[in-house]
Amino acid sequence: MNELNIKYHNNFLKEVEENIEEGEWIKMCMQCGVCSGSCPLGPYWAHPPQELFMMIRAGKREQVLRSDSMWMCTSCYNCVVRCPRKLPITQIMHGIAAYANNLGMAPKIQPTRDFSILFWKNCTRTGRVNELRLTLGLYFNDGLVAGIKKGWAMRNIGLGLMRAGRLNLFELFKGHECKDQKGIHAMLKKAAEIEQRHKHLTA
Amino acid sequence: MTTPIATSQTILVVGGGISGMTAALEAAECGKQVILLEKSPTLGGRTALLYRYFPKLCHPVCGLEINLRRLKGNRNVRVMTMAEVSRITGTRGKYTVTINIAPRYVNGNCTACGECARAVSSEIPNPYNYGLDKMKVAYLPHDMAYPLRYVLDPSAIGTADAEQARAACKYDAIDLGMQPETIELTVGAVIWATGWQPYDAAKIQPYGYDRFPNVITSLEFERFTDLRGPTGGKILRPSDGKEAKNIAFIQCAGSRDENHLRHCSRICCMASLKQTQYVREVYGEEGKSTIYYIDIRAIDRFEDFYQKVQNDSTVKFIKSKVARVAQDGNSGDLILHGVDTEGYHRYANNHDLVVLAIGMEPSVKGVDIPAEIIADASGFLESETSGGIFGAGCAASPLDVNRSVQHATAAALRAIQVINKTAGVEI
């Protein structure tokens, strides 16, 4: 690989197309900027979608995969609706985020990523989401003191939910679960296998 | 109206804009018999509603006048206004065309003295200024109208206005008894030159054309700058009539967008570049034009004009498709939101007036062409199955005036070929 190739890493677009869901759309972007301007969280992104797409095409692998921008997407689909080329931008954002995560390149402290991991573990364990554990897990993510503080701040809502029969403290020990948990796990394993077959993950 | 004599060697041209006039004249000057149909009361089409042409910034009066002069001097062309085709049957070399003619209520005696317009009081929205102002129910479409003859709007019929107009006319030109007519013609070939229409700007929801009075289309802006327009050549804001000096031009308003028009309308970049020069003409250094664009498509020789505008200190270029337009409640000013592509800077820019460089939709779209037509993905006419109907100008492709004329000339040649072949068979 010569110096120019290293600098621009020309294979990155290809890598993205092969490994990221809807990645083959990225070359269709005409850099008009409507997605970036339409994003309600746009001001908080380091790299808006338009810029991410250009960075991918320019081969800026490290910056793209280590960026926390795509983690900021809240799936409002405003960009998808307005994109004059009908790029599935939301899906691509999640695709880049998932790919970066699989490669272990995603930012270590990122609230969206933390929540996603928490949610995934929670829901795949028994096949159903245990809301109480999910909430508490989220509260105590930043340590014991922070968790107690957050819980205290939300106490009235919690009590209200309990009174309405929407929150059961016993769920902490054993929540509602799927009947055929083995089946669920087998399905998830198979899905992961299929995904591996389609996407040739390389770190 | 007497039915014109038409045979299988006659060429029918549908649409009397710059393309239709050109096609008709080119064929007629080759000695062919031509019937030129126009739906509205006058020839000239959209070209007549422009303030200036790009890139030389000359007035459309010029190009149209040359064509009208050619038309007046040519015995081979028969012009029919207020006429629409409702049916075409047959095949190349022999078509039967059904034509509906709407009553004008003014006959050939008219001298365009204007007494009838002074006599009537009712007003209707003026379509020649895109409804931005009103005109009398007895009217001359515009200064370049051909035939130079007044029209009485059907809404006046049966009212006191109609009687007053008739009483005011010294030449007995007003005929309130005129009825719609339907005629049938035999022609050998048809040139379809029905032109284009602006894309419905209200459909581009984030730009607020339907909500904000100070968001206008490029065609309306063209009328605002014209001396014969609703403001007499002053660039005034529709909301409060204040002079608009800080004007934003949004390119690709509807064009190049899978949600609206798939095609590039080709003229809008040059139209906006041209319109920045109107702003300069009116305000000098005080006027400010900002063009928001994806990329400027000033094709081939227009690059010179683009460079000239780039060097104009009053014109700023921002490489960005505007994401959203918001209105500042009290002032009526508009705030344009977006992110530019040259550095990814987020902006929220204030402007007095926003001009949408509106895309071009073929007039054939949504209209039931009475023949089997093959259109492209955007609805522009490509060809048809019987082999003797040809698209010309903007009915066939988004074109500027210059290219429409070239395209129409080509269409005339193809129609002539059909006619010659038919004649050959008959001999």
Q: Which CATH number is A88's domain given?
A: 1.10.1060.10
Per-residue pLDDT band at B270 (split at 50, 70, 90): very high
| Average pLDDT score over residue span A186-191 | 94
The answer to whether the CB atoms of A50 and B256 lie below 8 A apart is: no
Report residue B153's pLDDT band, with 50, 70 and 90 as the boundaries: very high
Q: Are B243 and B235 in contact (CB under 8 A)?
A: yes
Over residues B293-347, the pLDDT tens digits come to 999 999 878 999 999 999 999 999 999 999 999 999 889 999 999 999 999 999 9
Chain A residues within 8 A of B341 when measuring between CB atoms: 31-33, 50
Same-domain status, A22 and A98: yes
Q: Are B4 and B24 in contact, with CB atoms under 8 Å apart?
A: no
Q: Are B320 and A32 in contact (CB under 8 A)?
A: yes
Assess A43–B contact: CB distance below 8 Å, yes or no: yes
Of A33, A50, A84, the CB nearest to B257: A84
What band does B75 get if pLDDT is binned at 50, 70 and 90? Answer: very high
pLDDT, residue B368, reads 62
Residue B427: per-residue pLDDT:
44
Distance (Å, whole) CA B275 – CA A115 = 52
A residues 6..35 contacting B (CB < 8 A): 30-34
Do A71 and A149 lie in one domain? The reply is: no
**Pair A97, A138 in one domain:** no
Q: Percent of chain A at pLDDT above 70?
A: 92
Class of domain B199-359: alpha beta
Q: Is the pLDDT at B366 greater than 70, yes or no?
A: no
Torsion angle of C-alpha atoms A119, A122, A125, A128, degrees rounded to 10: -90
Q: Model-level pTM?
A: 0.90
Q: Which 3 state secondary structure label does DSSP give A118?
A: helix
Report pLDDT for B278.
96
In a domain, A131, yes or no: yes
Res B299: pLDDT: 81
Q: Are residue A13 and residue A90 in the same domain, yes or no?
A: yes
Give chain A positions within 8 Å (CB) of B257: 84
Q: Is the minimum CB–CB distance between B320 and chain A shorter than 8 Å? A: yes
Asked if A50's CB is within 8 angstroms of B344's CB, the reply is yes
d(CA A51, CA A74): 18
d(CA B329, CA B350): 12
Residue A143 pLDDT > 90: no
Q: What is the ipTM metric for this complex?
A: 0.86
Tell me: do A56 and A119 sit in the same domain.
no
pLDDT in tens, B167-179: 999 999 999 999 9
Shared domain check, A144 and A96 = no
Residues A96 and A11 in one domain: yes
Instruction: Point out the domain boundary residue: A102, A134, A162.
Output: A102
Mean per-residue pLDDT of chain B: 93
- For residue B277, what is the enclosing H or E element? helix B268-283
Can you give the pLDDT at residue B271? 96
Cross-chain Cβ contact B341/A50 below 8 Å: yes
Specify whether A10 is located in the same domain as A86: yes
- CB-nearest partner of A36 from B256, B260, B339: B339
A129 within a domain of the structure (yes/no): yes
Least Cα separation, residue A37 to chain B (angstroms): 4
Question: Of B259, B320, B324, which has the smallest distance from its Cβ to A84's Cβ?
Answer: B259
| Distance (Å) from the alpha carbon of A31 to chain B's nearest alpha carbon | 7
- Whether residue B321 and residue A32 make contact (CB cut-off 8 A), yes or no, is yes
Instruction: Flag whether pLDDT at B257 surpasses 50.
Output: yes
> How far separated are the first and last CA of chain A, in Å rounded?
18
Question: Both A126 and A175 in a single domain?
Answer: yes
Contact B213, B329 (CB under 8 A): no
Residue A170 is predicted with a pLDDT of 84
Distance from CA of B69 to the nearest CA of A (A): 45
Q: Chain A to chain B, count of Cβ pairs less than 8 Å apart?
A: 64
pLDDT at residue B265 above 90?
A: yes
B8 — pLDDT class (breaks 50, 70, 90): confident
Cα three-residue angle A101-A103-A106, rounded to 5 degrees: 40
Closest Cα in chain B to A51: B344
Closest CB from B258, B319, B339 relative to A84: B258
Cβ distance of A43 and B324 shorter than 8 Å: no
pLDDT per residue over B243-252, tens digit each?
999 999 999 9
- A203 within some domain: no
Asked if the Cβ–Cβ distance from B252 to A32 is below 8 Å, we say yes
Domain with CATH 3.50.50.60 in chain B: 10-102+180-195+363-426, 199-359
Q: Do B323 and A34 touch (CB under 8 A)?
A: yes
**Greater model confidence, B368 or A156:** A156
Select from A29, A34, A50 the residue whose CB has the most chain B CBs within 10 Å, as the one to mutate to test that interface.
A34
Domain span including residue A15: 3-102
Is the Cβ pair A43, B346 closer than 8 Å? yes
Which residues 6+ apart lie within 8 Å of B9 measured at CB?
B32, B33, B188, B419, B422, B423
Q: Does A85 touch chain B (CB under 8 A)?
A: yes
| Euclidean distance between CA atoms B177 and A134, whole angstroms | 83
| A36 interface with B at CB cutoff 8 Å | yes
Q: Do A36 and B259 touch (CB under 8 A)?
A: no
Alpha-carbon gap: B341 to the closest alpha carbon of chain A (Å): 6
Q: Does a structural domain hold residue A32?
A: yes
Residues of B in contact with A34 (CB under 8 A): 321-323, 338
Same domain, A84 and A115: no
Does pLDDT of B162 surpass 70? yes
pLDDT score recorded for residue A100? 95
Note which residues in 339-368 of chain B have CB less than 8 A from chain A. Answer: 339-341, 344, 346
CA gap B255, B264 in Å, rounded: 5
Same domain, A17 and A92: yes
Q: Mutate which of A25, A29, A31, A32 to disrupt the B interface (most B C-beta within 10 Å)?
A: A32
Cβ contact B258–A85 (<8 Å)? yes
- The residue of chain A with its CA nearest to that of B339 is A37
> What order of strands is seen across the sheet that includes strand B353-358?
B215-217, B353-358, B246-253, B288-293, B315-319
pLDDT reported for residue B386? 84
Q: Which of A48-52, A111-115, B108-112, B254-258 has the lowest mean pLDDT?
A: A111-115
Under 8 Å CB-to-CB from A44, ≥6 apart: which residues? A72
The residue among B291, B321, B335, B347 with the most chain A CBs within 10 A of its CB, best to mutate, is B321
Interface with chain A: mutation pick from B297, B344, B345, B347, highest number of A CBs within 10 Å: B344
Same structural domain for residues A125 and A70? no
A-chain CB neighbours of B261 within 8 Å are: none
- Helix (H) or strand (E) run with residue B350 in it: strand B346-351
Please tell me the least confidently modeled range out of A137-141, B143-147, B283-287.
A137-141
Q: At what angle do helices B218-225 and B268-283 cross, to 10 degrees?
A: 30
Is the CB of residue B8 less than 8 Å from the CB of residue B186? yes
Confidence at residue A1, expressed as pLDDT on a 0 to 100 scale: 47
Q: Which residues of B touch A25 (CB under 8 A)?
A: none
Nearest CA in chain B to A43: B346
pLDDT tens by residue, B30-72 = 999 999 999 999 999 999 999 999 999 999 988 899 999 999 9
- In CATH terms, the superfamily for domain B10-102+180-195+363-426 is FAD/NAD(P)-binding domain (3.50.50.60)
Q: Domain total for chain A?
A: 2
Chain B contact for A40 (CB, 8 A cutoff): no
Whether residue A148 lies within 8 A of chain B, CB to CB, comes out as no
The verdict on a CB contact (< 8 Å) between B294 and A32 is yes
> Does residue A95 belong to any structural domain of this protein?
yes
